[in-house]
């Protein structure tokens, strides 16, 4: 399916033979209607109202492995972390803590460049502050993001390679065990477009990518490889918002630079099925998370 692809795990999203054709793909409206189970605690990692995270804890005293969950929505202010609540809750039920991040986005004061990146970095590193109280295992932390959040999850893994004085990097980036990118956007320049979600790339960077090559080098994961951690790119076969080719081309480049990167294509899925824990695609997501964290799901 992808030229040079080493591993492509194709998973069927159907439960049996179709009688009247496959079900329609999920839409953004469907995702907005997913259940939003409450978190155990909401914690502020900064002074801005949007600088907070939702922490969900599994049963037991810990220390618990942690998944940093980063929502998407084209980096735009109108989409928030709520639609990832069901996914985060399902992962927590499987035995991991989840730290679901809110952050300033395009349209928010301070969002875009560089605030969006700085918020995600600060929120990840804030796990050091809350780990003792909540029994978190900082030696087993993975990042998971969807769509634009997939871009930010991959970027989190790569920011340690930025110069020590780069304000995006943070003083001491928290090490990650790996990244699960769900329909992520690993190449900002290639994804940029005049319309649709691709139009938000210029808003995120503050200009068209070819006008700010330094920002692309510091903010686009494909320009930052090797990222230095295992990378699992999960993509829907029928995703037209972030086509599967984005994942394949990124994984190939990451491998050329020495990263362990693979693509898992979910057959019959589009862009949004990957965040729905009631959809068969979730088994692929859950498996990827627990592979990186070195354990097994309780479910």
* Each residue's pLDDT tens digit, 15-29: 444 445 567 999 999
Query: 263 in a domain, yes or no?
Result: yes
Alpha carbon separation from 37 to 80, 169, 272 (Å, rounded) = 15, 32, 18
Confirm whether 107 is domain-assigned. yes
Q: For residues 20-39, give the mean pLDDT.
A: 88
Residue 43's CATH number: 3.40.50.1820
pLDDT in tens, 164-190: 999 999 999 999 999 999 999 999 999
What pLDDT does 11 receive? Answer: 45
Per-residue confidence band for 8, with pLDDT thresholds at 50, 70 and 90: very low
Per DSSP, the three-state class of 275 is helix
Domain that holds residue 175: 27-293
Strands (E), 161-214: 178-182
Separation between Cα atoms, residue 255 and residue 276, nearest integer Å: 29
Classify residue 69: in a domain, yes or no.
yes
Average pLDDT, the chain: 92
* pLDDT the model gives residue 18: 43
- Cβ neighbours, 10 Å, residue 238: 18
Please give the model's pTM, rounded to 2 decimal places: 0.92
Domain assignment of residue 21, yes or no: no
In a domain, 96, yes or no: yes
Q: What's the pLDDT band for 127 if we cut at 50, 70, 90? A: very high
Tokens of 101: 């991040």
Domain-embedded: residue 223 = yes
Residue with tokens 């994804």: 191
For the chain, where are the alpha helices, taking DSSP H only?
28-32, 85-93, 115-125, 127-134, 148-158, 188-191, 200-205, 213-219, 244-256, 281-293
- Residue 18 included in any domain: no
pLDDT (0 to 100) of residue 62: 87
Q: How many domains does the chain have?
A: 1
C-alpha 283, offset from chain centre: 16
**pLDDT at residue number 2:** 28
11 in any annotated domain:
no
């Amino acid at each position: 399916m992808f030229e040079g692809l080493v591993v492509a795990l194709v998973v069927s999203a159907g439960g049996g033979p179709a009688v009247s054709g496959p079900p329609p793909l999920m839409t953004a409206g469907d995702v907005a209607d997913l259940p939003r189970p409450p978190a155990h605690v909401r914690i502020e990692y900064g002074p801005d109202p949007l600088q907070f995270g939702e922490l969900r804890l599994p049963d037991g005293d810990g220390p618990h492995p942690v998944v940093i969950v980063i929502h998407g929505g084209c980096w735009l202010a109108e989409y928030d972390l709520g639609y990832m609540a069901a996914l985060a809750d399902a992962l927590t039920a499987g035995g991991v803590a989840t730290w679901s991040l809110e952050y300033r986005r395009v349209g928010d004061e301070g969002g875009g460049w560089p605030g969006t990146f700085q918020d995600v970095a600060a929120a990840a590193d804030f796990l050091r502050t809350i780990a003792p109280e909540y029994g978190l295992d900082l030696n087993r932390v993975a990042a998971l993001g969807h769509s634009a959040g997939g871009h930010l999850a991959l970027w989190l893994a790569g920011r340690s390679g930025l110069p020590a004085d780069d304000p995006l990097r943070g003083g001491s980036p928290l090490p990650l065990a790996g990244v699960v990118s769900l329909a992520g956007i690993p190449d900002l320049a290639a994804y940029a477009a005049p319309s649709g979600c691709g139009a938000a790339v210029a808003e995120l960077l503050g200009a068209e990518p070819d006008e700010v090559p330094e920002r692309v080098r510091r903010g686009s994961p494909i320009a930052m490889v090797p990222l230095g951690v295992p990378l699992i790119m999960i993509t829907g076969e029928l995703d037209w918002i972030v086509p599967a080719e984005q994942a394949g081309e990124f994984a190939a480049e990451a491998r050329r630079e020495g990263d362990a990167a693979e693509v898992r294509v979910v057959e019959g899925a589009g862009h949004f099925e990957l965040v729905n824990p009631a959809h068969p695609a979730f088994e692929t997501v859950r498996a990827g998370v627990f592979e990186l964290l070195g354990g097994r799901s309780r479910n």
